[in-house]
């Protein structure tokens, strides 16, 4: 298994999911090979919960990273779990048509280009 997938699986262990019990980890790699991770962090109000993908992107941006090339998302599901709509929007804006790999705890993977999960996205080109 490659480092990006291992990082997403490891980040999943840090998830704070006391309500849903649905732990997710994400890892994002920039063009220089640095990997930034995130996990979902739930809140009692649910609306303030952050998904693992957004945590990873915001963490990378806060560390000065730009130009991302790969993303991995890890969850404990038989059917691999894609990013939610809000995360797809954030991933598109910051990563463009990056490679996205979904992975579960058994090592099953699926690889997509982000455009395949988020056709005709809204971005700065419409402003």
Full 3-state SS string of the chain: CCHHHHHHHHHHCCCECCCCCCCEEEEEEECCCCEEEEECECCCCCCCCECHHHHHHHHHHHCCCCCEEEEEEEECCCCCCCCCHHHHHHHHHHHCCCEEEEECCCCCEEEEEHHHHCCCCCCHHHC
Provide the whole-model pTM.
0.95
User: For residue 62, what pLDDT is reported?
Assistant: 98
Sign of CA dihedral 31, 55, 51, 76: positive
pLDDT band at 1 (very low <50, low <70, confident <90, very high): low
Average pLDDT over residues 8-29: 98
- Say if residue 89's pLDDT is above 90: yes
Express each pLDDT in 21-46 by its tens digit: 999 999 999 999 999 999 999 999 98
Q: Which residues are catalytic?
A: 53
Q: Residue 27 in contact with residue 37, Cβ under 8 Å? A: yes
Provide CATH code, domain 3-118.
3.40.140.10
Instruction: Give domain limits for the chain.
Output: 3-118
- Report how far apart the first and last C-alpha atoms of the chain are (Å, whole number): 40
């Amino acid at each position: 298994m490659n480092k990006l997938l291992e990082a997403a699986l490891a980040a999943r262990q840090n998830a704070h999911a006391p309500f849903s019990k649905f732990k997710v980890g994400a890892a994002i790699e920039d063009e220089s090979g640095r990997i930034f991770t995130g996990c979902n962090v739930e809140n009692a109000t649910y609306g303030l919960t952050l998904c693992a993908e957004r945590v990873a992107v915001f963490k990378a941006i806060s560390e000065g990273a730009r130009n991302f090339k790969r993303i991995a998302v890890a969850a404990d599901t038989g059917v691999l779990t894609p990013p939610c709509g809000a995360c797809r929007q954030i991933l598109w804006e910051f990563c463009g048509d990056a490679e996205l790999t979904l992975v579960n705890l058994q090592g099953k993977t699926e690889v997509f280009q982000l455009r395949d999960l988020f056709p005709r996205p809204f971005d700065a080109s419409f402003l």
